[in-house]
Structure 1
């Protein structure tokens, strides 16, 4: 065999191996979507070292290029779920179910059809499990950062409430009652929560939204990047959901989309992963004021509420946020300073006030470091998993942020 032929076969084998690693289900989904009208900017499925499965461009892509265009008939919309054969089983109850419940029913019903389902190539590619709170057991929940526990518990409760509500409303239909188990509903809810797109004016709110939402086969192969700039919209003219890039890509690079300017807390809870070097990373310190004694508490709380300074008090790698420092300055105001509290908006109240804020926040951060170290030690003793890795990484990120905040505060004192 000649050298040229060997090189050609080696190159061909390398490409096919990457395609095979992407799983037959993923390739089948891409081929199926393409054969039913999906258009892409010369993208193919590829396994990347950092992110795993993603989409790679086969040529240079310019700013303004449409990356992916999904025809309306490939979108699993709420309207489609309502007009589905499920309507016969629901007997008008569909009007009493919210959009997430309807999409969940649709997914579960179609998954039960197996290869007989029109949507089989898409559904077969979907993950069998997720690392978000509704699907975590007690041991896995304990790995989550302590300040996220309430949010995580809230997600679990919300899913249970939606499931119970749906079961009550479809209790007249034995077929649906037996078809939709709690396990199946949690899976379907996770699919909708992590993969739905919105093409109306509605906004996502803790994973639950109404209005124009849909699942878009193929789009969920695209990975999230904090730096990706895209415009996603539904074109009433072409009847397609389209994603346009606002950045350029070179041949062979991975193409990304953005889920929004989320910190790693939100990414971990809502999507089950975190980003290394996330520019939106924060460490929440909403509880910082609780341990600090103060006078005129009622007046100060009213001011904080009026300025929206009762939540989202945080630090980043650059130190404490404006909201955090402003809240502390107001909380530490003397009676005379409180008369002219608006001066805080200029960033400084008095030297004494500033010293108190710096000392209190430094002490709080030192205590936080101790808590973070304990969490890291606990996680290190647990069995390894993707959730384990994410929880360890986010605690190390917290440590970096809090230590940087201490360093910034000490630099101010010096």
Structure 2
């Protein structure tokens, strides 16, 4: 999912920053297809292009708290059960265990390959052709991304690659058994390229919803709790709204329902909340960043502390044995609890047997806090300087993809968090 470029700082910023394909034609066609499938809308919501987010859903009437935003029949969800009842279920009948992301991605690619013959074509046509997760940065851009992004990206990329190679191994075996596409007689290992699989994998990653419970299906799947919900993925995210989702039963049928706990005026954009995600998580998983995300934090570790102060072996071993250094960070609210405790231990002159007592009783005096803040400022300035250097290097990149621009915005947001934290510490 893409996004618009960040507004200048002196302008009022919205609580979201995401952009879909800049057209409602495909989403309008999707809505008509759903209506043809006997879907009954619970509210008047219309695809619309908004200045800040691009494509989203607009309320055509006022929406009250607890109104049902969407109620989609389970039969219109793409689940692993859908795959198990399809032609390609044979791919997943081996002894291997596949994750639901791979299974759903493979199904999307097969249906996309069918083109007009696919029953899911209106939904497939509504999906973006690319995404703005860091995976979709160019090779040159990836070499410029900061280490805290590339370290996570390497894990996600490896997971996707391993999933693809495992799938290809199965498809190669099936080719020898003459398992081919019934529409074109091509073998599936020729149909599904790594580039296509990456698109499908991230389509599921950015758009799938979680369902409680597991399906009763024939194929072996790890984490069988994902589903793709047509029309639902037109909702944009904000951390300033609350909505609840659940699988409900009405008579003999099941529905995926989303209920809003926020009211909306007619003509405004209707949002849902993807969960409690900071901007790094949003960028890695969904490909966008929201301004002034209250969940943002900039983490640091003992190696950062050691660049600013000498740590004795006794202190170092104590922190590691008790895992006290696992979650140190700066936020717009200042140093977090773990950071304060670790910096206290690194700077205190009291005896070791008093450390725990002072920490857990929250009994740090003014001198303790002064030393903590002094060291915290040194680390903060060091992190801020590194972020600024990374940002300058990124901005010198001549051609910037949407994915890379999201990374630029991420660093700008992190620098702003550190500036807010600086004010708190200096008070």
Q: C-alpha separation between the residues in 2 aligned to 1:391 and 1:133?
A: 8
Is the 1:82–1:94 contact (alpha carbons within 8 Å) kept by the matching residues of 2?
A: no
Residues 197 and 166 of structure 1, relative CA distance in 2, 3 Å threshold: same
1:342, distance to aligned residue in structure 2 (A): 3.0
Equivalent residues in 2 for 1:62-77, closer than 5 Å: 62-77=64-79
**Hey, what does 2:280 align to over in structure 1?**
265
**Hey, what does 2:310 align to over in structure 1?**
293
Q: C-alpha separation between the residues in 2 aligned to 1:94 and 1:195?
A: 28
Q: C-alpha separation between the residues in 2 aligned to 1:209 and 1:367?
A: 42
TM-score (norm 2): 0.83
Residues 311 and 30 of structure 1, relative CA distance in 2, 3 Å threshold: farther
Q: C-alpha separation between the residues in 2 aligned to 1:133 and 1:81?
A: 29
**Hey, what does 2:154 align to over in structure 1?**
153
Residues 101 and 37 of structure 1, relative CA distance in 2, 3 Å threshold: same
Instruction: Please give the secondary structure, in 1, of the residue aligned with 2:172.
Output: coil
Q: Structure 1: which 5+ residue stretches go unaligned? A: 1-19, 203-207
- Matching of residue 235 in structure 1 with residue 251 in structure 2: no
Q: C-alpha separation between the residues in 1 aligned to 2:22 and 2:387?
A: 37
**Hey, what does 1:370 align to over in structure 2?**
385
**What RMSD over aligned residues (CA atoms) do the two structures have, in Å?**
2.3
Per-residue CA deviations over 1:216-274 (Å, capped at 9, x if unaligned) read 01111000011110000111344000100001111111100111111111111111110
Instruction: Please give the secondary structure, in 2, of the residue aligned with 1:391.
Output: helix
Greater helix content: 1
Equivalent residues in 2 for 1:9-408, closer than 5 Å: 22-38=23-39, 39-88=41-90, 90=91, 92-93=93-94, 96-174=97-175, 175-200=187-212, 210-237=223-250, 238-287=253-302, 288-291=304-307, 292-295=309-312, 296=314, 297-303=316-322, 305=323, 309-334=324-349, 336-382=351-397, 383-408=399-424
Q: C-alpha separation between the residues in 1 aligned to 2:222 and 2:343?
A: 34
Q: C-alpha separation between the residues in 1 aligned to 2:416 and 2:353?
A: 35
Per-residue CA deviations over 1:149-189 (Å, capped at 9, x if unaligned) read 21111111111111111212332123121121111110100
Q: C-alpha separation between the residues in 1 aligned to 2:355 and 2:396?
A: 53
1:55, distance to aligned residue in structure 2 (A): 0.3
Q: C-alpha separation between the residues in 2 aligned to 1:321 and 1:107?
A: 43
Aligned length: 382
Q: C-alpha separation between the residues in 2 aligned to 1:82 and 1:217?
A: 19
Deviates more, 1:253-262 or 1:332-341: 332-341
Q: Structure 2: which 5+ residue stretches go unaligned? A: 1-20, 176-186, 215-220
Instruction: Please give the secondary structure, in 1, of the residue aligned with 2:28.
Output: helix
Is the 1:60–1:249 contact (alpha carbons within 8 Å) kept by the matching residues of 2?
A: yes
1:346, distance to aligned residue in structure 2 (A): 3.0
Q: C-alpha separation between the residues in 2 aligned to 1:36 and 1:310?
A: 54
Residues 252 and 143 of structure 1, relative CA distance in 2, 3 Å threshold: farther
TM-score (norm 1): 0.86
Q: C-alpha separation between the residues in 2 aligned to 1:21 and 1:351?
A: 55
1:107, distance to aligned residue in structure 2 (A): 0.6
Instruction: Please give the secondary structure, in 1, of the residue aligned with 2:173.
Output: coil
